[in-house]
Chains A and B, each alone.
Chain A
């Protein structure tokens, strides 16, 4: 059984976000890039599943649509335990473009599961997984919190409002996983880091794809207003500020 884990290369979660080109492009200057945390959980659990010999998982491939700058992220995936990495050599222009690239690769290979993290730490679109399933014409299950294998089929657990839902799937399935899918991201061990040097990282050309969206502008949220400290005895000032400035009275 082969698993494909789709990896986004995203800015570290503590990055201060800035934009350039009249607020239409993210400014990557000085940014530390990491594996999208949700994708890292997807990969970590996939490696756990493969390491448990009672499961039928035989190979884990990771794929990323990105320029050569994303290769350190892919090599970290190899160090964590992926067997093989694929980089589709292009900027991930938008969700549909990315989905087409991944779907094209999946069509050529055969994977039982194509796994996505539920969202990405950068654009937060939660779209690519569903789009890949649609392009491939295969089932897609979102908010997956667990997976158990029984022979050639698998039972997927997903969170629903106030409870759990279990579904059985067979054949190629897209699963979009959420936090509980893995307890925590795996830390690569020395052997994994050393092995990552020898594992294949294949670079494939992107296919032509029409761009369906265009970014007009990014806007940062308004900075948080400063707290005003008022003396507990000065009720008059408090009331004045609440009515005139905050306009809540």
Chain B
């Protein structure tokens, strides 16, 4: 067992840290307050190669391992978790899905611009009536011979407006249940697609979340990922990888809030001494540090398994479950340690607390992760 990061991994962590601490910090409060999409940052981060960092260099990606990816997402999310989710969706849902299950032609056409960050991707699974219950898809794709005719509405789509490449999960053969589901590559600018209003969210406000409506959208057959009926398996497999990204984002929220709380506790005085010298605060920090370390190890373990080509679905579910709960707990405690200052925007931790809540909800709620883990236990698969 080796817990050391290699030189490349350290370099990537430092590069992400430098960008976050130097650039993201400047406008993160304003972007949160006004719900501004970070277009300029995404452009710069594309140039640095973070938008496609996991993709094989032969498809214009960075060719980095998943451990490096965890480190980078943590560093970005320490300062700005909206950036964390934009990068995570592009890399581990969209690029990963096409790279793992797409044809060579699909990779050349769709993956390369996504890996270069010239285009951004979105993953359209959730619907008004189908979130965690992914088999209840109402969006239909009728087989019209050489194309599918797509109709329906997708909800809560991260990168909904900023993305131009969609992976859309659709129901083709309703009678076949989850075996009748397909995943289609769709250009956002196809006729019949309407991007709904920007959701006015509680947190992660700098990432753009929209509903997307499909009205008689023609999607060529060659845009289907995998064989007919592969869509449900595609979504589940892709989400396994996506969980590592969201777990790392939650980890970043927790470790970022912890760093701020520690700094504050060392400076702020009450009853004649810095508040870190009061056991009530010191023990909070001790718990926070321990839980963050546990979350980090779970994230890195899941990433390590994925990099080794070993099954990582259970590990990524555990990482996501634990890191998201840790993010919620640690950010709440960070606000508490800051007292009144924690409740105002300029001290950052209130934003982190709002952002943290979403990590327990999207890309599989905490309850869904428990279903994944408990089924693995029941099936002697853990």
Whether the Cβ atoms of B19 and A187 lie closer than 8 Å is: yes
Pick out which of these stretches binds chain B: A84-92, A98-106, A157-165, A189-197.
A189-197
Chain A CB within 10 Å, residue with most, of B7, B47, B61, B62: B7
CA distance A158 to B19 in the complex (A): 29
Instruction: Verify if A180 is at the interface (C-beta below 8 Å from B).
Output: no
Pick out which of these stretches binds chain A: B48-56, B81-89, B119-127, B324-332.
B48-56
CA distance A193 to B9 in the complex (A): 9
Q: Mark A179-202, 1 if CB is under 8 A from B, else 0.
A: 000001101111101101100000
- Main SS of chain A's interface residues? helix
Instruction: Verify if B368 is at the interface (C-beta below 8 Å from A).
Output: no
Whether the Cβ atoms of B11 and A76 lie closer than 8 Å is: yes
Chain B CB within 10 Å, residue with most, of A79, A189, A190, A193: A190
Q: Mark A17-53, 1 if CB is under 8 A from B, else 0.
A: 0000000000000000000000000000000000000
Q: Mark B260-279, 1 if CB is under 8 A from A, else 0.
A: 00000000000000000000
What is the minimal beta-carbon distance from B49 to any residue of chain A, in angstroms? 3
CA distance A197 to B62 in the complex (A): 13
Instruction: Verify if B22 is at the interface (C-beta below 8 Å from A).
Output: yes
Whether the Cβ atoms of B49 and A189 lie closer than 8 Å is: yes
A75, A76, A194: the one contacting B63 at CB < 8 Å is A194
Instruction: Verify if B8 is at the interface (C-beta below 8 Å from A).
Output: yes
Residues of A within 8 A of B10 (CB): 72
Closest B residue to A197 by beta carbon equals: B8
Whether the Cβ atoms of A79 and B62 lie closer than 8 Å is: no
Instruction: Verify if B191 is at the interface (C-beta below 8 Å from A).
Output: no
Instruction: Verify if B57 is at the interface (C-beta below 8 Å from A).
Output: yes
Whether the Cβ atoms of A190 and B19 lie closer than 8 Å is: no
CA distance A79 to B62 in the complex (A): 13
CA distance A72 to B47 in the complex (A): 23
Residues of B within 8 A of A184 (CB): 22
Closest A residue to B44 by beta carbon equals: A187
CA distance A108 to B18 in the complex (A): 37
- Main SS of chain B's interface residues? helix
Closest B residue to A76 by beta carbon equals: B11
CA distance A184 to B12 in the complex (A): 18
Whether the Cβ atoms of B62 and A187 lie closer than 8 Å is: no
Whether the Cβ atoms of B15 and A193 lie closer than 8 Å is: yes
8 A Cβ contacts from B34-83 to A: 47-50, 53, 57, 61-64
A187, A194, A197: the one contacting B48 at CB < 8 Å is A187
**How many A residues touch B, CB cutoff 8 Å?**
15
Whether the Cβ atoms of A189 and B47 lie closer than 8 Å is: yes
Whether the Cβ atoms of A193 and B12 lie closer than 8 Å is: yes
CA distance A193 to B57 in the complex (A): 12
Whether the Cβ atoms of B49 and A191 lie closer than 8 Å is: yes
Residues of A within 8 A of B18 (CB): 185, 187
Whether the Cβ atoms of A72 and B53 lie closer than 8 Å is: no
Whether the Cβ atoms of A190 and B53 lie closer than 8 Å is: yes
What is the minimal beta-carbon distance from A27 to any residue of chain B, in angstroms? 22
CA distance A194 to B54 in the complex (A): 12
Whether the Cβ atoms of A194 and B22 lie closer than 8 Å is: no
A72, A194, A196: the one contacting B62 at CB < 8 Å is A194
Whether the Cβ atoms of A193 and B22 lie closer than 8 Å is: no
CA distance A72 to B61 in the complex (A): 23
What is the minimal beta-carbon distance from B329 to any residue of chain A, in angstroms? 28
Q: Mark B294-317, 1 if CB is under 8 A from A, else 0.
A: 000000000000000000000000
Residues of B within 8 A of A187 (CB): 15, 18-19, 48
Knowing A189-B47, A194-B63 are in contact, say whether A75-B19 is a contact too (CB < 8 A): no
Whether the Cβ atoms of A194 and B57 lie closer than 8 Å is: yes
CA distance A218 to B49 in the complex (A): 44
Closest A residue to B52 by beta carbon equals: A190
Whether the Cβ atoms of A79 and B22 lie closer than 8 Å is: no
CA distance A196 to B15 in the complex (A): 14
Whether the Cβ atoms of A190 and B64 lie closer than 8 Å is: yes
A79, A190, A194: the one contacting B50 at CB < 8 Å is A190
Q: Mark B2-44, 1 if CB is under 8 A from A, else 0.
A: 0000011011101100110010000000000000000000000
Q: Mark A51-82, 1 if CB is under 8 A from B, else 0.
A: 00000000000000000000010011001000
CA distance A197 to B61 in the complex (A): 16
CA distance A184 to B48 in the complex (A): 15
B7, B50, B64: the one contacting A72 at CB < 8 Å is B7
Residues of B within 8 A of A75 (CB): 7, 11
Closest A residue to B115 by beta carbon equals: A190
Whether the Cβ atoms of B62 and A190 lie closer than 8 Å is: yes
Residues of A within 8 A of B49 (CB): 189-191
Closest B residue to A192 by beta carbon equals: B49
CA distance A187 to B47 in the complex (A): 11
Closest A residue to B6 by beta carbon equals: A72
CA distance A40 to B61 in the complex (A): 26
Whether the Cβ atoms of A189 and B7 lie closer than 8 Å is: no
B interface residues, Cβ below 8 angstroms from A: 7-8, 10-12, 14-15, 18-19, 22, 47-50, 53, 57, 61-64
13 A-B pairs besides A79-B11, A189-B47 with CB distance below 8 A are: A76-B14, A184-B22, A187-B15, A189-B15, A190-B12, A190-B53, A190-B62, A190-B63, A190-B64, A191-B62, A193-B12, A193-B15, A193-B62
Instruction: Sample 12 A-B pairs with CB under 8 A, ordered by A number.
Output: A72-B10, A72-B11, A75-B7, A185-B18, A187-B19, A188-B15, A190-B12, A190-B53, A190-B64, A194-B57, A194-B62, A197-B8
